[in-house]
Amino acid sequence: MTALLVLDELTVQRGEIPLCEAVSLHLSAGSICHLVGANGTGKTTLLMQLAGLLPVLTGEIVYQGAVGLPVQPLYVSHQLGIHPNLTVAQNLTFLLNLYGITPSTDDIDDALTWVGLQGFETISSSHLSAGQTRRITLARLYLLTPEVTPLWLLDEPFTALDVEMVASMEDRLRDFANAGGAILMTSHQSVGVANQVLDLTEYMV
C-alpha cells in the first residue's frame, strides 16, 4: 500500500538537544500508529515536528509522495486553541473553520453531543472543567474526514476522559482509519485500535 507519510532517518530534536536519531516510519492509509516510549524520549517533540511547530534539522519527511511536512494535519495536544472568552460553540466553530469547514448549528450540536457536551453550546468555555475543555477540541474528530485532513497527530488524546468516552473515541479512530485516514498518536494507556507501534526508546541517543 502506498505510504501516506514516510519518516526517513529523522532526528527528533528540541532546540540543540537531539532526543532520538534515525527514526523511520511508514504510515499508510488505514494505519493507526501508537507512538510509545518513556517520558522524555521525544514523543510530543516528534508530533510537534510533524505539525510544523518545531523544525526538522536532520532526516526527510515524505507526505503523500512529496518531500515536505504534512499539509494541514489535525494536531490535538495540550495546546487546545480554546479561548476562555468564547462559548463552546464559538470555539468549536473556529477550530473547524481552520480546516475550511463551516459547520451548521446541527453539525455543532451533533459533535458536542458526541463528546457529551450537549446543551453547552452557549456556555462560556471558562466555566468548563479541564476535561470538558479538552472535549471541545476532540469534538472536531466527529466532523473531520480523511478528505479534509488525512493525517491526525494526537498527543495523549485520552487524557482526562472517562472509559465510555475513550471507547467512543476508539470507535471514531477506527472509522477514520477505515475511511482512508492515518493516525499517529501517543498514549500512556494501551490503544486497542492501534495496528502499528513505533517505540522511540529504540532510537534514543
Partner 1 sequence: MSQTDSTTQAMPKGANTIEVTSRGISFTQLWRREWQVKQQGAVQWLYPLVLFLVIITLFPLAVGSEPALLQRLGVSAVWIAALLSLVMGVDGLFKPALDNGTLAQLVVAKASLPLWVLIRLAIHWVFSSGIVAVLSLLAVPLFQLSWFETWILMASIVAGSPMLLMLSAIASSLTLSLKNGAVLVPLIALPMQLPVLIFATGAVDLYATGLNGLPILALLLAGSIVSVLVMPWVIALTLKMAWLN
Residues that bind partner 1 (CB under 8 A): 51-55, 71-75, 77-87, 90, 94-95, 97-104, 107, 110, 113-116, 118, 124, 129-132, 135, 141-145, 147-148, 160, 162, 164-165, 167-168, 171-172, 175, 179
For partner 1, the closer CB: 5 or 143: 143
Q: Would you list the DSSP string of 53-98?
A: SS---SSEEEETTEESPPSS-EEESS-----TTSBHHHHHHHHHHT
Give least dist CB 7 to partner 1, A.
18
Name the minimum Å distance from CB 143 to partner 1: 5
Nearer Cβ to partner 1 (8/170): 170
Q: Output the smallest distance, CB 171 to partner 1, in A.
A: 8
**DSSP label at residue 123:** S
Min dist. Cβ of residue 17 to partner 1 (A)? 13
Write the CA distances from 82 to 29, 77, 92, integer angstroms: 29, 12, 8
Task: Name the nearest CA neighbour of 45 among 77, 72, 69, 3.
Answer: 77
Beta bridge partners of 74: 152
Query: Nearest distance from residue 149's CB to partner 1, in Å?
Result: 9
Residue 154 burial class via C-beta count within 10 angstroms: exposed 0-12, middle 13-18, buried 19 and up: buried
Contact yes or no for 145/153 (Cβ under 8 A): no
Q: Tell me, what amino acid is at 14?
A: R
Between 114 and 203, name the residue whose CB sits nearer to partner 1.
114
Q: Which is nearer to partner 1, 165 or 183 (CB)?
A: 165
C-alpha cell, 155? 498527543
Nearer to partner 1 by Cβ, of 77 and 186: the residue is: 77
